Amino acid sequence: METFFIRALQLVLSLSILVIVHEGGHFFFARLFKIRVEKFYIFFDPWFSLFKFKPKNSDTEYGVGWLPLGGYCKISGMIDESMDTEQMKQPAQPWEFRSKPAWQRLLVMIGGVMMNFILALFIYSMILFTWGDKYIALKDMSYGLKFNETAQNIGFRDGDILLSADGKELERFGMDMIRDVVEAKEVKVLRNGET
């Protein structure tokens, strides 16, 4: 039961990070183009919120809702976010989304997706940086390879360590190595300590 709660907490935390990054993209471009952001919430807050904070010299209220299904960034003059039809009846203000040029509105709308894409690139870059290109060389495999029936019919045996194919040294297991072995006329293996 404890494992379930830990995994549930990990899921909520990872989704929270994605929501913060996504909504942060919308927030960043809105503030960059001097568009007022009325609310920035992690999770939804129907009826009440768990936490809210509004700095003194800011128009933005920051908060955490109680319903962990996403988050939102309420941008002034954006009917899709605020559903404030009364505000839409008023003339457009210079700090509203609807008064900005089309290219700025587009960047505000796709800012969340852009930030998620950048986050994905960052995560994959760090994975490659951390785990990178490490492998065990074929010649260092102490137990060799296991071969299927077709390979055994042409002479390979379980435990063989592949050394070279047509004189080309085989370094690592992968599709290139398999292609070299399949296309080769002569393959050298190490079997029971003998080539």
Rounded to whole angstroms, the Cα distance separating 186 from 118 reads 47
Query: Is 23 a residue of the active site?
Result: yes
Catalytic residue among 23, 38, 61, 171: 23
For residue 101, give both structure tokens. 């040029």
Distance (Å, rounded) from C-alpha 38 to C-alpha 28?
13
Distance (Å, whole) CA 110 – CA 90: 26
Query: H or E segment at 127?
Result: helix 102-131
Instruction: Determine the Cα–Cα distance for residues 79 and 88; give it in Å rounded to an integer.
Output: 7
How far is the C-alpha of 120 from the C-alpha of 127, rounded, in Å? 11
Q: Which residues lie closer than 8 Å to 88 by C-beta, 6 or more apart?
A: 77, 79, 98
Whole-angstrom distance, CA of residue 91 vs CA of residue 85? 12
- Active site residues per annotation: 23
